[in-house]
Structure 1
Amino acid sequence: MPHDVRHPPERGFSPIQTPQSVAFAPRRVLAIVLRHTYVLKSSFPRLLELAYWPTVQMVLWGFITTFFVSHSSWVAEAFGVLLAGVLLWDVMFRGNLGLSISFMEEMWSRNLGHLFVSPLRPYELVASIMTMSFIRTVVGIVPATLLAIVFYEFNIYGLGLPLVTFFANLLVFGWVIGLLVSAMILRFGLGAESLAWVAIFAFGPLSGIYYPIDTLPGWLQPVAWAMTPAYVFEGMRAVLFDGVFRWDLFGGAVALNVLYLGAATLVFLRTFTTARKLGLLLDVGE
């Protein structure tokens, strides 16, 4: 006899439920696990990120521990040297993140295609997101510097004019990383957006934020000296320890920044040209 649609369902089950569907089903759990496994396998940045953070933390704190074991009185020689390192490192971090986030906000809102229907040029976009990075960095870092005065009586502005050079060089290097990350996101999609947060921390152990560059193994020191932050943080310690501004370190930082910023801008603009030809400005998925 045909089922009477007016007949109420069996007690305890909705019309679309059966005893089998209510019971816990491992196959459904496996289906969701497989779904996320396939997403993970198809995205190298996500896969890399799993091992990235533990490795970076281990390397960074390993070098810090190695240095302090043999230089236990080092911090006492220059009050606030660690705080200065933290605050200046945050300038580079904010510079990178401010640029990357400004670019990704255009991708999240699917606005790149609309922007470039207008007369806007790619290099004008680069200039605008650099400006936004500067604004975001200043807004983010100034409250922290003021709180350092209140809580710890450490005034980083006491560094004087050298602070301006440290800030500028670290901000520009942050732009370098941000432009390269933005180029990768533009080329490979939002699946690579986590690089905006994780890429910069690879430079932490090699930047000499909390310890001199000569703490690193000999084979790593040339790698560190090939990057701007090493010159900045060594210059910071020279001011705090010896009260002198190292023009040689300043010159090295500026020269590297000019080279790297030019190269990163070129990479971004070339990637943009490729993305426009491939129609990626409208395809911003993962």
Structure 2
Amino acid sequence: MLSIAFLEDIWSSNLLSVPVSPLSGAEYLIGLVLFSLGKVVFAVAVMVGLAFVLYGFGVTSLGVGLVPFMGVPPAPLQAAAWLLPASHVFEGMRTVMAGGAVPWDRLAWAGGLNVVYLAGTLGLFAWALRYTRRRGKLSRFGD
């Protein structure tokens, strides 16, 4: 969702105003994240509501068989899948849906991976913004 919002800013030439605006890179990014998060929450709420009203389908009625099992892919893909936070969340969902307790260690791993990936992304964004401001490349982006 963030990448689409970023592309919308590029296509509408809003991004070209960031280097000359009083906004810092952090303020721009926080606004972008909050706006994108609001769009996601709204879209999910509408879809869940429509699924319930039109089809009588509740999200909590999903069965354990619909959640992917990490033991299915080949070993190299399993190792790569554990680097994705969603894999830890899905395995935790499988445990809970099978009647087990919430595996907090899985959720902690997912949260930790999200923090690491977010920090890396923010660092890359900050570096790219500094780079483009120093070299004046962003102001010529649309030309």
Q: Same fold (TM over 0.5)?
A: yes
Task: Work out which of the residue numbers 192, 215, 218 in structure 1 matches 2:75.
Answer: 218
1:237 is matched with which residue? 94
Distance in 2 separating the partners of 1:247 and 1:154: 28
Post-superposition offset of 1:238: 2.0
TM-score relative to the length of structure 1: 0.45
Cα displacement string for residues 211-239 of structure 1 (whole angstroms, at most 9, x for unaligned residues): 21111101211111111110111122222
| 1:1-286 equivalent positions in 2, closer than 5 A | 97=1, 99-156=2-59, 210-242=67-99, 244-285=101-142
In terms of Rg, which structure is larger? 1
The one-letter code of the counterpart of 2:95 is A
The one-letter code of the counterpart of 2:40 is T
For residues 137 and 149 of structure 1, do their structure 2 counterparts lie closer, same or farther at Cα, with a shift above 3 Å needed? Answer: same
Contact 1:213 1:230 in 2 (8 A): yes
Identity %: 34
Distance in 2 separating the partners of 1:144 and 1:156: 10
Question: Which range moves more in the overlay, 105-114 or 249-258?
Answer: 105-114
Distance in 1 separating the partners of 2:25 and 2:42: 26
Distance in 2 separating the partners of 1:253 and 1:235: 10
Which secondary structure does the structure 2 equivalent of 1:245 belong to? coil
TM-score relative to the length of structure 2: 0.84
What RMSD over aligned residues (CA atoms) do the two structures have, in Å?
2.3
Distance in 1 separating the partners of 2:70 and 2:113: 17
Contact 2:89 2:107 in 1 (8 A): yes
Contact 2:89 2:106 in 1 (8 A): yes
Post-superposition offset of 1:119: 1.7
Cα displacement string for residues 78-102 of structure 1 (whole angstroms, at most 9, x for unaligned residues): xxxxxxxxxxxxxxxxxxx2x1222
Distance in 2 separating the partners of 1:242 and 1:152: 26
Post-superposition offset of 1:242: 1.9
Cα displacement string for residues 239-283 of structure 1 (whole angstroms, at most 9, x for unaligned residues): 222253111111110111111111111011101111222323223
Distance in 2 separating the partners of 1:284 and 1:240: 50
Contact 2:5 2:32 in 1 (8 A): yes
Distance in 1 separating the partners of 2:117 and 2:69: 23
For residues 152 and 236 of structure 1, do their structure 2 counterparts lie closer, same or farther at Cα, with a shift above 3 Å needed? Answer: farther
Cα displacement string for residues 109-156 of structure 1 (whole angstroms, at most 9, x for unaligned residues): 222332332221001111111001111101111111112223443322
For residues 211 and 228 of structure 1, do their structure 2 counterparts lie closer, same or farther at Cα, with a shift above 3 Å needed? Answer: same
Contact 1:231 1:250 in 2 (8 A): yes
Which secondary structure does the structure 1 equivalent of 2:76 belong to? coil
Aligned residue-pair number? 140
